[in-house]
Amino acid sequence: MKEIVINPITRLEGHGKIVLVLDDAGNCKKGYLQVPEIRGFEKFAEGRHAEDMPQITSRICGVCPFAHHMASTKALDDLFKVEPPTAAKKVREVAYNIFMLEDHALHVYFLGGPDFIVGPTAPKAERNILGVIAKVGKEVGLKVITMRKKLRKTNEMIAGRTIHPVLGLPGGVSRPISSGEAQEIKKLADESLDFALFTLKTFKDIVLSKKEYVDLITSDAYTHRTYYMGLVDEKNKVNFYDGKIRVVSPSGKEFARFDVHDYPENVSEHVEPWTYVKFPFLKKVGWKGFVDGEDSGIMSVAPLARLNASDGMATPQAQEAYEEMFKTLGGKPVHHTLANHWARTIEMIYAAERFKELANDPEITNPNTRNLPTAVPRVGIGVVEAPRGTLIHQYETDDRGVIKKANLLVATQHNSARMALSVDKAARSLIKGGKIDDGMLNMVEMAFRAYDPCHGCGTHTLPGSMPFMIYVYGENGALIETVKRNLP
Amino acid sequence: MEKPKIAMYWCASCGGCEEATVDLAEKILDLTSLADIVFWPVALDFKEEDVEKLPDGSITASLINGGVRMTEHEHMVKLLRKKSKIVVAYGACSAWGGVPGLLNLYGEEELFSRVYREIPTVENPEKVTPQRSIKVDDVELKLPDVLPRLLPIDRVIEVDYYVPGCPPTPEVTWKAVEALLSGTLPPKGSVIGASEKSLCDECPLNETKPDKVLIQDLKRPHQVIPDPEKCLLTQGMLCLGPATRGGCQALCVKARMPCTGCFGPLDRVTDYGAKAASFVASIVDFQDEESIEKVMDRLPDPVGTFYRYTLASSSLGGRARRNKT
Amino acid sequence: MTEEPRVGVFVCHCGMNIASTVDVKKVVEYARTLPNVADAKEYVFMCSAPGQDLIKEDVKKCNLNRVVVAACSPGMHEATFRASIVEAGLNPYLLEMANIREQCSWVQLDKQKATEVAKDLIRMAVAKARLLEPLEELRVGVEPTSLVLGGGVAGLRASLDLAERGYKLHLVEKLPTLGGKAARLGKLAHVDIRGADLVGSLTRAAASNSNIRIHVNSELVDLEGSVGTFKAKIRTAPRFVDEKCTLCGECFRVCPIEVPNEYEFGVSKRKAIYLPFKEAYPPIPVIDPEACTRCGECVKVCEPGAVFLDQKGTEVDVAAGAITLATGFEPYEPPEGEYGYKRSEKVLTLFQLERLLDEDGPTGGELKLGGSTPRSLAFIMCVGSLGTTEKAHPYCSRMCCASSLKNMLRIKDRYPETEIYAIYKDIRTYGRGDEELYEKTAERLVKYVRFEESPKVNLHSDKVDIEVYDTTLQEDLLIPVDAVVLAVGMSPSADMDKVRAIVKTGCSPEGFIREAHLKLRPVEAPADGIFLAGSVTSPKNIVESVMAGGASAAKVATLFANKEVRIEPIIAEATEEICSGCAICIAMCPYGAITRKEKGEKMVAKVDKALCKACGTCVAACPSGAMQQSGFKDIQVMAQVAALTERRGG
Amino acid sequence: MSEQFEPKIALFACNWCTYAAMDLAGTSRMKYPPNFRVIKVMCSGRVDPQFILEAFRDGADGVLVAGCHPGDCHYTEGNYKALRRMALLKRMLETLGIEKERLRLEWISAAEAARFVKVAHEMVEQIKALGPLQLSVQVRV
């Protein structure tokens, strides 16, 4: 028996380390995705001022700080029992949709996208943003870079900073948007929508036009029948900022629809001794190990899951794209992990359209953006849809608003079980007869890069493919061979 | 002539510092034209051994972000030190431990029992916790060791320069890069890219201060709607700008939120939290113990407030740990 | 500081004083092992001539650039050893002392432990000495001219005592006349002269002294600089009448305007053009600009043409080395209705009574209230003092008891039949001769009623009833009298805060000016060059005010005699390259020594070297470390701390 | 160590009061425990909380800050600033795991030699009861 360790040394403290176990025939019999990192935010949150949590928890991730900032801020509204003024809610949602758009764009063009846009078989050196530029043209490439820069600058204007924002306070936001700023925002909103639509078009032209890609997307290696979870509005349309949590079964039936306050009755976390990450699952179905299907509580979140868990998009052009996707991929729910890329571009359109609606809403310049809390704090729960899925913050405090206990259900974590499945399945279906080649390994890697996992963003690599170092060990644990993947 | 070689490496960080460098946007291309980036985990890849192979001191400058949390970090920064002429602590975490340094207030055991047992949603009847090494169907799976305390990198290796911020702004980053490439550098141990003065110097509200800055009350951000035209500190908000290095151009204050100190202390300050606490206590305008204590009661978590980013680099480094004697 | 420190350690036996409990040999050997220590020596008496020579020679021989002397307390011999290293060519501030006698050998018994303490203290001293820097002593020349604010007894005494020592001074009085409150009292206790006459002797002397320049009708409006080099701006309001005036009195006659006469505490009226009182100095009438309607009648009748209705005020800048504050007090003004005050002419204050009993007063000394002389009178004491009412001050006003007793006796002399009640909380006749007054009143059958709960005064058309619980008889009394005298105390003068703001000095909890030290420096303000006379610091009677005036003059003279002020250079300074002008330090300074000055378009803190007293409070508060105190810089103290143990100090 | 624990206590003494009081204790040949290491400052208002944490880091088992009685400060109000800073620092020390008894603020006038001796005995006893601090701290390499 052999053991293969794939160590994505893009970050030594882990964020995904793969161990493949081969039987004597050299077929992969098990693949493990390990997360060997823990930073303990839940612990050191204790003793801190509750109102500081939006800024403290944003430090969990510098790529999606807005997600934690916003979930935390909403938890504070709930904790201090204070309703923000409508203007404040809209300001938050503007910033949040700008963020979703910009973060998705990062993934589509810089991270996951290159696999398709440049092509999985293309030379590694090209499988990055530069490759993308080469493929789609320089002006397009610059368009992407400048678009992203504009979006981030705008969020800096609204939220003080774009990495680790300071906007959120219980009962509102720290500053209103001036009418001057609103003008710029309007302009940007129009550009953003064009950009999002352009992105979908590019994705279609380059990916969906090629049969082999579509086959790849729909291939069994990348398919799991799991539950899907996401936030929906009262019409069961996708919403990033607020709503009820909806869960649909592998067969697409509504399994649960609950307020975030009821999450403890619906979600539990399973612990494995070989990884620091916990595995959330549907409490009412139960933990049945790393298997999919109706009887396994394993669920999935993030773009595809959100689309599966909803009845559509709240904006017209996103809705159109939504219908097209499900039509093409054979109806709801879609179980193909790689369809996340497509779903992501659809969500970009929604984010842009929603952004535009809000940008044209005169309310966003209303100077009244704060209500001061008066209630004695006790417990507060907040939820948002992070780019990488449903994100929940819960705080319990003393009368002075000092955190006694904190619980954070991080988006990527909700996917961790399904990701483990994906890696295991991909490895088992791809690695046979002890033959390991680079292409296979990229396939294995694609299996979980599609989730855009963010265990501290370990897989965000510009080259668009994660460099691997592979060690093949013999039964006795002796190193037999090492394979390097795209090292200079 | 040969281009200078630059390496960038991340320890226990959130990725914000990487995003910050990505936010250099088109400037990244300028950078690549000025220097060879020989090592940048988000961009390129090296395995430890490949770094080993480099001749000692062959890297012009290594920019390291994130604190030292796991054994691998310790090993890696030592290696980079050996291979680099200049080591730069980039960002709050590597300079002073940053926000994750707050875990130094707790022990590892407290952490594990909270995360894997106490949290109500955890369903863990067998009280399983992650193991350094465990056999799963006769394969040994290993997890890296967590150090008892998170350390700023200068507690593990010698650091030549510091770039402050959580994260450093693109402007600060670029200034620092220029300084490194120009070769005209301040004395070892200096901060580069940021200001020599505290934030007030560049804060638009500094001139609104009265002659005497005194406060009768401390207000937490959610307890007050500040007048945006007046210095936040003089309105009783705990703005740490006076104790914090400038360079960010007062981003938070412009968003009407007090400075929380992410640019850290100035050159002559050895313990940021103690210094910040000192100036705040000094301006509490009461002389009798009772009134003073009343004001202090308004701030239940002074440690988390004054040491938000610098606990790991403070005199005590965290909750006092006694030598086993 | 580029040169490598070479520290010499000199350990003193002090005969057996140190050597008997500290193993000096061991200590010296240990000192030699410390970093940067070039040489260590011991001697039986370091402070003796040979001991000092030992140091001087060693400084030269081993070219030492820092010296640590481990001996007695710096209080004893720091100056001595500083002098000797200066002779050896070193800056005096390159000396650090380790106090191993008072704080070690004399307080320890166990020789081994004492030796350990000595070693530690020396290690710490060496650690600090390494980082010592040469400092230059600051000297500021003193302008031998003084500025005295306030022309009452205290101010006059201060001025005369200084002028008689040959120093020039400006005497500034806010009112149009010198004399203050004392000039408006009737016959004084113990001495058989009127207040006006008492003060008159002082004003005449001041007026005829060429060293004194008198500015009446004038105020200090701006002050710059510090001890030795003040620049003061004095504004003089127009008087509208000049010295051509012959005091014929025609103008008073024709002036149609009448207002209450403040110089008589409102018991009489005066015209808009008036002479404050007979003995007023200067003896020139003045026009009250608020009251005057500019009708011009006075101009018409003025033969010598001394009246000028369009006269303007003037401003003059004067240089002064010292300032004496003698701005006095205000009588406590009871709120309307308190004890019936202002509700009836039968209720008057002690000061008003003084005017009525003064032969030169409005009634020529006749005690007449609304035409009739009261047959019975009640003095309510401690009005506005001892917290007797809500508005009352917590303190005792010191002069009201004696003054009331004096007046009771005057009334008894003049109207022996008058029935007098003294309703008091406490009688404090501490002054010389005052106790006799008290006994005399008893002999003259003044009835004493003691209260805790302040009495109630009920006004009736014909009489006044006083309800009071007598704590001696332990019963409620109802005392019907014809009139009530309120023995009001002293309040800080009305424009006290204005003056304090200009001279930048702190106030006591009672609102008077705070002394540098309550007991040891009672006539000096915390800020150098500011001196205090009379009731600016607390209620005082005439004797005490005069004493304070003289004392302050002595202090000013001492300052002037030295010709310059030496400033210990261990003062604070802000490094402009680091200071962000955050202003935290400014409120820390009790001396107003720190200001924010614009440097370019940026602000930085600036310390006035002459004002800084070297407490270092601003340094500990300075959030950026820009502010540092010479001789006690952060790095210097930190080095001393780090050397607590050998862990890092070794 | 076999011998009985002798705590080391850093004493920040105001030049005008406590330092003088200690000299007086000396000239009056009073006796007190050998545990104090004096660092003279001109005023308790000069004592920067940084000094105190540094002292604990560098091996002090306790820190005593001593200044003039309220109202008697040689510099009128430096001691009040010390009072404010110590009040806040004490709270921080508790979170940082250092017993608050290890930091003590006392008002001791120049005349109160006996009072100093009393405080000295008290504090040494308290700290002996608490035992050594002996922090393990990483310093910059």
Token digits of residue B21: 């460098």
CB-based contact (8 Å) between B207 and chain C? yes
- Cβ distance of D88 and B289 shorter than 8 Å: no
Per-residue model confidence (pLDDT) at position B196: 96
Please state the domain extents for chain D: 9-130
Radius of gyration of chain B from its Cα atoms, rounded to whole angstroms = 22
CB-based contact (8 Å) between B303 and chain D? yes
Per-residue model confidence (pLDDT) at position A460: 30
Token digits of residue C175: 């009112």
- Cβ distance of C580 and B283 shorter than 8 Å: no
Chain B: residue nearest C581 by CA?
B201
Model confidence at A286: pLDDT above 50: yes
Rounded to whole angstroms, the Cα distance separating B275 from B269 reads 7
Of C21, C122, B316, B272, the C-alpha closest to D60 is B316
Write out pLDDT tens, residues C56-92: 999 999 999 999 999 999 988 999 999 999 999 999 9
Of B143, B172, B137, the C-alpha closest to B264 is B172
Write out pLDDT tens, residues C605-634: 999 988 898 999 999 999 999 999 999 999
The answer to whether C426 and C386 have CB atoms below 8 angstroms apart is yes
Q: What is the helix (H) or strand (E) element at residue C584, kind and residue range?
A: helix C584-588
Token digits of residue A283: 């409490």
Close Cβ partners of A137 (under 8 Å, ≥ 6 residues apart): none
Rounded to whole angstroms, the Cα distance separating C329 from C545 reads 11
Please state the domain extents for chain B: 5-99+148-191, 105-147, 199-313
Rounded to whole angstroms, the Cα distance separating C532 from C514 reads 9
Using a CB-CB cut-off of 8 Å, the residues of chain C touching B258 are none
CB-based contact (8 Å) between B319 and chain D? yes
Residues 6-25 of A with CB under 8 A from B: 9-14, 19, 21
Domain D9-130 has CATH 2.170.140: no
pLDDT (mean) for A257-268: 96
- pLDDT-derived band of residue A469, with 50, 70 and 90 as boundaries? very low
- Cβ distance of D23 and C638 shorter than 8 Å: no
Per-residue model confidence (pLDDT) at position B47: 53
- Cβ distance of D32 and C107 shorter than 8 Å: yes
Close Cβ partners of C246 (under 8 Å, ≥ 6 residues apart): C303, C304, C306
pLDDT higher at C515 or C15: C15
Chain D: residue nearest C113 by CA?
D34
Instruction: Write the residue in B198, B270, B275 that is nearest to C638 by C-beta.
Output: B270
Residues 588-607 of C with CB under 8 A from B: 588, 595-596, 602-603
DSSP H helical ranges for C71-226: 74-87, 111-129, 153-164, 195-207
CATH for C568-630?
3.30.70.20
Close Cβ partners of B52 (under 8 Å, ≥ 6 residues apart): B79
DSSP strand pairing (C602-607 vs C594-599): antiparallel
Q: What is the DSSP string of C494-544?
A: TTHHHHHHHHT--B-TTSSBPPSBTTTBTTB-SSTTEEE-GGGSS---HHH
Pick the CATH number of C7-135 from 3.30.1360, 3.30.430, 1.10.3470, 3.40.50: 3.40.50
ipTM: 0.91
Using a CB-CB cut-off of 8 Å, the residues of chain B touching D138 are 149, 151, 155, 317
Using a CB-CB cut-off of 8 Å, the residues of chain B touching D50 are 269-271, 274-275, 278, 315
- The C-alpha angle with vertex D122 and arms to D117 and D126, in degrees rounded to 5, equals 150
Pick the CATH number of B5-99+148-191 from 1.10.3210.10, 3.40.50.700, 2.60.60.20, 2.40.50.40: 3.40.50.700
The domain defined by C137-237+313-328+493-565 folds into FAD/NAD(P)-binding domain (3.50.50)
pLDDT (mean) for C221-235: 91
Q: Is B71 helix (H, G, I), strand (E, B) or coil?
A: helix
CATH for C238-312?
3.30.70.20
Token digits of residue C89: 């060519």
- Cβ distance of D34 and C637 shorter than 8 Å: no
Cis-peptide, bond into residue B167, ω within 30° of zero: yes
Per-residue model confidence (pLDDT) at position A466: 39
> Among the listed ranges A23-27, C33-37, C295-299, C300-304, which one has the minimum average pLDDT value?
A23-27
Per-residue model confidence (pLDDT) at position A456: 38
Write out pLDDT tens, residues B260-278: 999 999 999 999 999 999 9
> Among the listed ranges A344-358, C91-105, C220-234, which one has the minimum average pLDDT value?
C220-234
pLDDT (mean) for A59-68: 90
The answer to whether C418 and C386 have CB atoms below 8 angstroms apart is no
Count Cβ atoms within 10 A of the Cβ of residue C80 and give its class: 0-12 exposed, 13-18 middle, 19 or more buried.
middle
Token digits of residue A328: 């093409």
- Cβ distance of C581 and B200 shorter than 8 Å: yes
Per-residue model confidence (pLDDT) at position A215: 87
Rounded to whole angstroms, the Cα distance separating A43 from B108 reads 10
Chain C: residue nearest B269 by CA?
C625
Q: Which amino acid is at A140?
A: V
Token digits of residue C600: 């370019």
Write out pLDDT tens, residues B159-199: 999 999 999 999 999 999 999 988 889 999 999 999 999 99
First-to-last CA distance in chain B? 57
Instruction: Write the residue in D31, D37, D47 that is nearest to C107 by C-beta.
Output: D31
Size of interface B-C (CB pairs under 8 A): 89
In whole angstroms, how far apart are CA A116 and each of A127, A196, A210, A339?
Answer: 9, 17, 10, 12
Per-residue model confidence (pLDDT) at position A438: 64
Of B228, B221, B169, B159, the C-alpha closest to B194 is B169
CA D68 to chain C, closest CA, distance in angstroms equals: 12
What's the mean per-residue pLDDT of chain B? Answer: 90
Architecture per CATH, domain C331-491, reads as 3-Layer(bba) Sandwich (3.50)
DSSP H helical ranges for C259-394: 297-301, 350-357
> Among the listed ranges A10-24, A466-480, B72-86, D6-20, which one has the minimum average pLDDT value?
A466-480
Q: Which amino acid is at C359?
A: E
What's the mean per-residue pLDDT of chain C? Answer: 94
Token digits of residue B17: 């510092």
Rounded to whole angstroms, the Cα distance separating C69 from C46 reads 8
Model confidence at A488: pLDDT above 50: no
Write out pLDDT tens, residues C535-548: 999 999 999 999 99
Residues 518-577 of C with CB under 8 A from D: 518, 526, 570
Per-residue model confidence (pLDDT) at position B48: 62
Close Cβ partners of A262 (under 8 Å, ≥ 6 residues apart): none
CA C322 to chain B, closest CA, distance in angstroms equals: 25
pLDDT (mean) for C468-480: 96
Close Cβ partners of C482 (under 8 Å, ≥ 6 residues apart): C346, C369, C372, C374, C375, C376, C377, C463, C464
- Cβ distance of B275 and D49 shorter than 8 Å: yes
Instruction: Write the residue in B280, B284, B287 that is nearest to D70 by C-beta.
Output: B287
Per-residue model confidence (pLDDT) at position A11: 32
CA A20 to chain B, closest CA, distance in angstroms equals: 10
Per-residue model confidence (pLDDT) at position B76: 86
Q: What is the DSSP string of C231-273?
A: EEEEEE---SB-TT-----HHHHH---EEE-GGGTTSSEEESE
Per-residue model confidence (pLDDT) at position A134: 73
DSSP A360: T
- Cβ distance of C615 and D46 shorter than 8 Å: yes
Write out pLDDT tens, residues B195-238: 999 999 999 999 999 989 999 999 999 999 999 999 999 999 99
DSSP strand pairing (C322-325 vs C145-149): parallel
Q: Is B245 helix (H, G, I), strand (E, B) or coil?
A: strand
Token digits of residue B179: 């300084």
- pLDDT-derived band of residue A120, with 50, 70 and 90 as boundaries? low
DSSP strand pairing (A2-6 vs B59-65): unpaired
Model confidence at D28: pLDDT above 70: yes
Write out pLDDT tens, residues C315-353: 999 999 999 999 999 999 999 999 999 999 999 999 999
CA B311 to chain D, closest CA, distance in angstroms equals: 10
Q: What is the DSSP string of A223-255?
A: B---EEEEEE-TTS-B-SSS-EEEEE-TTS-EE
Residues 244-273 of A with CB under 8 A from B: 263-264, 267-273
Write out pLDDT tens, residues A415-463: 889 988 988 888 888 888 777 766 677 677 777 767 766 543 333 333 3
**Longest CA–CA separation in chain D, Å:** 47
Residue C317's DSSP bridge partners are: C233
Per-residue model confidence (pLDDT) at position A477: 54
Token digits of residue C240: 């509208």
Write out pLDDT tens, residues A189-244: 999 999 999 999 988 988 888 888 888 888 888 899 999 999 999 999 999 999 99
Instruction: Write the residue in A14, A60, A161 that is nearest to B14 by C-beta.
Output: A60
Instruction: Write the residue in C596, C623, C638 that is nearest to B275 by C-beta.
Output: C623
- Cβ distance of B224 and A162 shorter than 8 Å: no
Sign of the C-alpha dihedral, residues A218, A223, A226, A227?
negative
Per-residue model confidence (pLDDT) at position C514: 82
Per-residue model confidence (pLDDT) at position A435: 72
Rounded to whole angstroms, the Cα distance separating A258 from A262 reads 6
Q: What is the helix (H) or strand (E) element at residue A169, kind and residue range?
A: strand A168-169
Per-residue model confidence (pLDDT) at position A385: 97
Please state the domain extents for chain A: 2-38+420-485, 224-335
Per-residue model confidence (pLDDT) at position C2: 60
Predicted TM-score (pTM) of the model is 0.81
- pLDDT-derived band of residue A8, with 50, 70 and 90 as boundaries? very low
Per-residue model confidence (pLDDT) at position A13: 30
Q: Is C550 helix (H, G, I), strand (E, B) or coil?
A: helix
Write out pLDDT tens, residues C400-420: 999 999 999 999 999 999 999
Write out pLDDT tens, residues A367-394: 999 999 999 999 999 999 999 899 999 9
Per-residue model confidence (pLDDT) at position B27: 78
| Residue whose entry in the numeric block shows the structure tokens 């091996």 | D59
Close Cβ partners of C31 (under 8 Å, ≥ 6 residues apart): C9, C11, C37, C40, C68, C70, C119, C122, C126
Using a CB-CB cut-off of 8 Å, the residues of chain D touching C644 are 8, 10, 37, 55, 58-60
| Residue whose entry in the numeric block shows the structure tokens 């009292």 | C185
Radius of gyration of chain A from its Cα atoms, rounded to whole angstroms = 22
Model confidence at A95: pLDDT above 90: yes
Model confidence at C101: pLDDT above 60: yes
Please state the domain extents for chain C: 7-135, 137-237+313-328+493-565, 238-312, 331-491, 568-630
pLDDT higher at A15 or C562: C562
Fold match between domain C238-312 and domain C568-630: yes
Of C404, C408, C281, C275, the C-alpha closest to C351 is C404
Model confidence at C36: pLDDT above 50: yes
- Cβ distance of C580 and B197 shorter than 8 Å: yes
Model confidence at C264: pLDDT above 90: yes
Per-residue model confidence (pLDDT) at position A231: 97
Per-residue model confidence (pLDDT) at position B23: 81
Rounded to whole angstroms, the Cα distance separating A335 from D93 reads 55
pLDDT higher at A479 or C494: C494
Per-residue model confidence (pLDDT) at position A2: 66
